[in-house]
Amino acid sequence: MDRAAHSNDSYTQYSDIKTLLSWSAPGRPFKKKSKQYYLNGLLIAFLFEVILFLFQQYLFMFVVGALYFLAVALATVPPRNFHYRVSNQGIKVEDHFFIWEELYDFYFRRLEGVEVLIVRTKVLLPGELQIPLGELHPHHVRRVLISYIPYREVMRETFMEKSANWLTRNFPLERS
């Protein structure tokens, strides 16, 4: 009798899963780059290649070439649409599901001209989920998520983010 009651309780627990938000959006922020971006990137990579060649660092030369290829591939190929779903159990991104106990907090940031929901995780990997909102408004998403994880209105930039912003400001690969 107890076993039947227990299985019935677990059934009602699973039947209470409710989808709060569901949308499709590109897998990452994307903005088409100009020819100037690719040319400037090639010149910088070539400069590093020459320096590494002079110091006979052939393996690092390969790494610089691979990183340039990755940058060109990410800047050229637009991302496919992903399906995102927020339920009372957690956040689902395509086939990966993150329960609320795995998530730390969230905030919004504008990347490449797209509003992005950033959810930090408690574990090191993935560290944070960057979810483009598509047509959703951040206020609507915030009202839903704030019941489950804390919202950070202001996030201080890390040293790496400050460095990247400084480089982008002072040495842009393309003019706006």
Among the four given CATH numbers 3.30.465.10, 3.40.50.720, 3.40.640.10, 2.30.29.30, the one describing domain 19-28+79-156:
2.30.29.30
Does the structure show a pLDDT above 90 at 91? yes
Q: Which amino acid is at 109?
A: R
Dump pLDDT digits (tens) for 161-174. Answer: 999 999 999 989 88
Higher per-residue confidence, 16 vs 51: 51
**Integer CA distances (angstroms), 2 to 6, 9, 15, 16, 152, in order:** 6, 10, 20, 21, 44
Integer Cα distance of 160 and 127 in angstroms = 15
Dump pLDDT digits (tens) for 108-145. Answer: 999 989 999 999 999 999 999 999 999 999 999 999 99
Domain ranges for the chain: 19-28+79-156, 35-77
Does the structure show a pLDDT above 50 at 42? yes
Q: What is the DSSP string of 43-87?
A: HHHHHHHHHHHHTT-HHHHHHHHHHHHHHHHHHHSPPPEEEEEEE
Give SS3 for 154. coil
